[in-house]
């Protein structure tokens, strides 16, 4: 939308939170817990990680104090909004047996909207792109995830430009950031220099405009618009990682039998962490549970992972018994076959799979190594 | 009113070398015990009742490892009179903490610990139940998890497969929204090589995983050790972190032996 840009000060940001809450939204945003930035309900700007930054590298995450009072001065947190809209575990239905009868008396889809609607505050551009991917994967196919649909339809998104990219970030390589370009109701860019602590606001939807009208803002002066552009340029220049996407699909497909898979398998713990922190990974299992009497039965949808041996189990055994096949499956899906399946990359460059891999495996390093690894056939003369 | 036409399945609970903690997990199912009593006949459970119903039994829960010649004989008898044998806990499934004897000299332990070692008849190694008889299902944990126990019991009552995942503790950590203690705090954690089941209890309280549920289905213990060493652990500490409740499980035993310090005698001579 081409609405005029506005400026919001700290009181204005509190006003935005108040307005969203008054409109019935459950506001969820970043906060500090257990040494990391995590998502939690936000009631006031004091709940936000004021003055906190982070250091991120492969298998390494540490919060650190910043020299300023930035509220969004950190890179990707421990999780994207994925657990909010696509929870780790949810009820599909619950039924009860009475005599010879069986009735479904709780439908998960009916409950899916109960906690919300959500207002997601502080969504980074990488995670915004991940939401767009989930919209295609979970809503755009023959079988819609009705529970995700219920949460997503009502969700209000306040995006924030990433002005403090981390050591494992590479959204600039993936074309997914750092400035939010679509998919938000409102987008903020935090400005701390040359004036009071303030936020440049861009409006993305009529709904966003309507909400913003209830919040005290001022017209954005040209130097604030420039300052936001400068912050974005600085961010792009300070990405910790890069990934060369040129022909990446062909690189992955050509390397199906690369010896590199054995190298990475020697490090990989098959712990599943990369997939569970990935904002686009969507693999789940459906579990049926019954109580001791067998009178109450439930069907639940739970997060699963291609790194679990059991995940590929079919009659007779697992399709991917070796860790090398699981890593190959994951990175090939993420960077290559996702393109064939959904017409887009499955990676948004948030860097979480690198930071939260306890074995320090780096998707950008693996992709680069595969690009330069001679193929087995070509390598032997 | 319906009349019970079919006899309830008979449940027996047996104890071998163990601390009784896993049997207590069954007794701790306070909210579910009445429901359980309605679905099974608790036929043999000395920890709970002196009343004994003769075998055979439909399901035998077996706690503890085999450490004496008498126990070898007794587990054979339990197997004979049980349709299904389900072993519960680290002792029964891998030999337990008492399998630390497997790495030492039992004669020496015996002479140091007991005033009259000659009264003692014991085996050189502590072994899981599956080393002696066929086992239908192994439920891991030190102690076992109450919800998993109820799931296994429900499965046997309803004659279906128990839904007990074999993936890592990390899955439970992430599902409950816990922050990784290894990555965010540098805390050594066995979670990546350990089977889920506890609900990621320790990591959720900012502690590293101790491996109570034994190795997950694809345990890359060598890579795990490299990471532990990079977090500052010494070789002998790495050896010890694998030598707890599941010390004798194959992947943990092998890995601990890779980190054994050179023997003192060798170093001295």
Cβ contact B238:B229 at 8 Å: yes
B217 and B130 share one domain: no
Task: Locate the chain B residue with the closest alpha carbon to A297.
Answer: B154
The answer to whether residue A277 scores a pLDDT higher than 70 is yes
Asked casually if ipTM beats, i.e. exceeds, 0.90, the reply is yes
Task: Locate the chain A residue with the closest alpha carbon to B203.
Answer: A34
B219 and B139 share one domain: no
B208 and B244 share one domain: yes
Q: What are the Cα distances from residue A120, in Å, to A42, A54, B220?
A: 10, 21, 38
Q: Determine, yes or no, domain membership for B5.
A: no
Q: Determine what percent of chain A is predicted with pLDDT higher than 70.
A: 97
B114 and B28 share one domain: yes
pLDDT tens sequence across B239-260 = 999 999 999 999 999 999 999 9
Average pLDDT of span A362-381: 77
- B18 to chain A, minimum CA–CA distance in Å? 27
Residue B116, domain CATH: 3.40.50.700
pLDDT of residue A380: 42
Helix H or strand E segment including B83: strand B82-88
Residue whose structure tokens are 């090398």 = A324
Task: Locate the chain A residue with the closest alpha carbon to B171.
Answer: A272
B175 and B206 share one domain: yes
pLDDT-based confidence at residue B263 (cuts at 50, 70, 90): low
- A373 to chain B, minimum CA–CA distance in Å? 23
Q: Name the domain boundary from B157, B190, B222.
A: B157
- In this complex, which of B154, B166, B178 lies closest to A292 when CB atoms are compared? B154
Question: Is B8 at the interface with chain A, CB within 8 A?
Answer: no
B27 and B129 share one domain: yes
- In this complex, which of A60, A272, A355 lies closest to B170 when CB atoms are compared? A272
Cβ contact B66:B75 at 8 Å: yes
- A160 to chain B, minimum CA–CA distance in Å? 23
Separation of CA B51 from chain center? 27
Beta bridge partners of A297: A95, A290
- Note whether A267 contacts B223, CB cutoff 8 Å: yes
pLDDT tens sequence across A97-138 = 998 999 998 787 777 767 779 999 999 999 999 999 999 999
- B115 to chain A, minimum CA–CA distance in Å? 47
Structural domain range at position B244: 169-261
User: How far is it, in rounded angstroms, from Cα A248 to Cα A370?
Assistant: 9
The answer to whether residue A369 scores a pLDDT higher than 70 is yes
Q: Determine, yes or no, domain membership for B112.
A: yes
- B105 to chain A, minimum CA–CA distance in Å? 34
Question: Is B194 at the interface with chain A, CB within 8 A?
Answer: no
- A323 to chain B, minimum CA–CA distance in Å? 8
**Is beta strand A36-41 parallel, antiparallel or unpaired with respect to A26-33?**
antiparallel
pLDDT-based confidence at residue B3 (cuts at 50, 70, 90): low
Q: Determine, yes or no, domain membership for B43.
A: yes
- Among B207, B216, B212, B210, which residue's Cα sits nearest to residue B182? B207
Q: How many domains does chain B have?
A: 2
The answer to whether residue B9 scores a pLDDT higher than 50 is yes
Q: Determine, yes or no, domain membership for B127.
A: yes
Best probe of the B interface among A80, A261, A269, A277, by most B CBs < 10 A, is A269
The answer to whether residue A378 scores a pLDDT higher than 50 is no
CB contacts, 8 Å: A88 with chain B: 174-177
Cβ contact B180:B173 at 8 Å: yes
pLDDT-based confidence at residue A151 (cuts at 50, 70, 90): very high
B27 and B101 share one domain: yes
Give the largest CA-CA distance in chain B.
82
B147 and B174 share one domain: no
- Note whether A276 contacts B191, CB cutoff 8 Å: no
Q: Determine, yes or no, domain membership for B2.
A: no
pLDDT of residue B5: 52
Q: What are the DSSP E strand ranges found in chain A?
A: 6-9, 26-33, 36-41, 52-57, 60-65, 89-98, 101-107, 118-123, 156-160, 186-191, 198-203, 218-219, 284-290, 296-303, 313-314, 317-318
The answer to whether residue A374 scores a pLDDT higher than 60 is yes
- Among B81, B89, B80, which residue's Cα sits nearest to residue B128? B89
The answer to whether residue A2 scores a pLDDT higher than 70 is no
Alpha-carbon dihedral sign for residues A134, A137, A139, A140: positive
B17 and B105 share one domain: yes
CB contacts, 8 Å: B151 with chain A: 289
B76 and B116 share one domain: yes
B225 and B192 share one domain: yes
CB contacts, 8 Å: B174 with chain A: 88, 272-273, 276-277, 303
The answer to whether residue B4 scores a pLDDT higher than 80 is no
CB contacts, 8 Å: B226 with chain A: 267
B204 and B239 share one domain: yes
Residue ranges per structural domain of chain A: 6-82+112-237, 248-289+304-379
- In this complex, which of A60, A273, A323 lies closest to B218 when CB atoms are compared? A323
Average pLDDT of span A139-166: 95
pLDDT of residue B7: 86
Average pLDDT of span B171-197: 97
Structure tokens at A286: 């459906």
Best probe of the A interface among B180, B207, B229, by most A CBs < 10 A, is B180
CB contacts, 8 Å: A308 with chain B: 165-168, 171, 217
Cβ contact B101:B126 at 8 Å: yes
Q: Determine, yes or no, domain membership for B4.
A: no
The answer to whether residue B78 scores a pLDDT higher than 60 is yes
Rg (CA), chain A: 22
Q: Average model confidence (pLDDT) for chain A?
A: 94
Cβ contact B65:B18 at 8 Å: yes
Q: What is the pTM of this model?
A: 0.94
Q: Which residues contact B54 (CB under 8 A, 6 or more apart)?
A: B43
């Amino acid at each position: 939308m081409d609405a005029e840009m506005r400026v919001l000060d700290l009181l204005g940001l509190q006003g935005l939170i108040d307005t969203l809450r008054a409109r019935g939204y459950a506001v969820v945003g970043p906060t500090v817990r257990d040494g990391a930035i995590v998502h939690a309900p936000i009631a006031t700007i004091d709940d936000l990680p004021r003055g906190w930054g982070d250091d991120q590298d492969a298998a390494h995450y540490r919060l650190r104090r910043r020299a300023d009072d930035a509220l969004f001065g950190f890179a990707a947190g421990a999780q994207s909004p994925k657990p909010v809209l696509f929870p780790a575990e949810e009820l599909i239905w619950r039924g009860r047996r009475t005599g010879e009868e069986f009735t479904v008396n709780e439908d998960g889809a009916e409950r899916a909207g109960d906690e919300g609607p959500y207002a997601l505050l502080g969504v980074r551009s990488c995670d915004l792109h991940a939401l767009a991917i989930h919209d295609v994967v979970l809503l755009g196919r023959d079988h819609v995830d009705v529970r995700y649909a219920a949460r997503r339809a009502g969700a209000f998104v306040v995006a924030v430009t990433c002005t403090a990219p981390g050591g494992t970030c590479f959204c600039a390589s993936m074309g997914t950031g750092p400035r939010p370009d679509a998919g938000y109701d409102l987008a903020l860019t935090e400005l701390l220099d040359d004036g009071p602590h303030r936020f440049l606001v861009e409006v993305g939807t009529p709904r966003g405009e309507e909400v913003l009208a209830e919040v005290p803002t001022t017209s954005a002066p040209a130097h604030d618009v420039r300052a936001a552009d400068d912050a974005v340029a600085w961010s792009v220049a300070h990405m910790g990682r890069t990934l060369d996407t040129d022909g990446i699909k062909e690189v992955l497909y050509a390397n199906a039998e690369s010896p590199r898979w054995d190298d990475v398998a020697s490090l990989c713990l098959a712990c599943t962490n990369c997939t569970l922190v990935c904002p686009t990974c969507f693999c789940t299992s459906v579990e049926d549970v019954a109580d001791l009497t067998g009178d109450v039965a439930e069907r639940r949808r739970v997060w699963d992972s291609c790194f679990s041996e059991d995940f590929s189990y079919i009659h007779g055994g697992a399709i991917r018994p070796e860790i090398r096949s699981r890593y190959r499956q994951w990175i090939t899906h993420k960077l290559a076959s996702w393109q064939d399946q959904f017409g887009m990359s499955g990676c948004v460059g948030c860097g979480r799979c690198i930071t939260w891999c306890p074995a320090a495996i780096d998707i950008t390093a693996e992709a680069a190594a595969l690009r330069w690894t001679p193929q087995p056939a070509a390598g032997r003369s | 009113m319906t009349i019970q036409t079919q006899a309830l399945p008979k449940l027996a609970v047996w104890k071998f070398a163990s601390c009784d903690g896993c049997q207590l997990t069954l007794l701790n199912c306070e909210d579910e015990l009445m429901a359980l009593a309605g679905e099974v006949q608790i036929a043999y459970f000395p920890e709970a009742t002196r009343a004994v119903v003769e075998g055979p039994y439909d399901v035998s829960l077996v706690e503890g490892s085999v450490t004496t010649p008498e126990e070898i004989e007794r587990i054979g008898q339990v197997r004979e009179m049980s349709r299904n044998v389900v072993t519960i806990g680290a002792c029964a499934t891998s030999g337990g903490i008492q399998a630390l004897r497997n790495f030492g000299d039992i004669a020496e332990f015996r002479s140091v610990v007991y005033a009259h070692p000659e009264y003692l008849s014991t085996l050189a190694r502590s072994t899981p139940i599956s080393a002696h008889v066929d086992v239908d299902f192994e439920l891991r944990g030190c102690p076992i998890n109450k919800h998993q126990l109820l799931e296994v019991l429900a499965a046997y009552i309803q004659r279906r497969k128990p839904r007990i995942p074999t993936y890592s503790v990390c899955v439970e950590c992430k599902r409950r929204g816990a922050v990784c203690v290894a990555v965010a705090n540098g805390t050594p954690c066995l979670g990546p090589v350990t089977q889920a089941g506890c609900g990621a209890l320790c990591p959720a309280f900012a502690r590293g995983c101790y491996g109570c549920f034994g190795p997950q289905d694809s345990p890359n213990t060598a890579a795990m050790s490299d990471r532990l060493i990079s977090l500052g652990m010494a070789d002998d500490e790495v050896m010890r972190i694998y030598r707890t409740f599941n010390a004798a499980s194959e992947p943990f035993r092998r890995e601990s032996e890779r980190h054994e310090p050179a023997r003192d005698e060798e170093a001295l001579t």
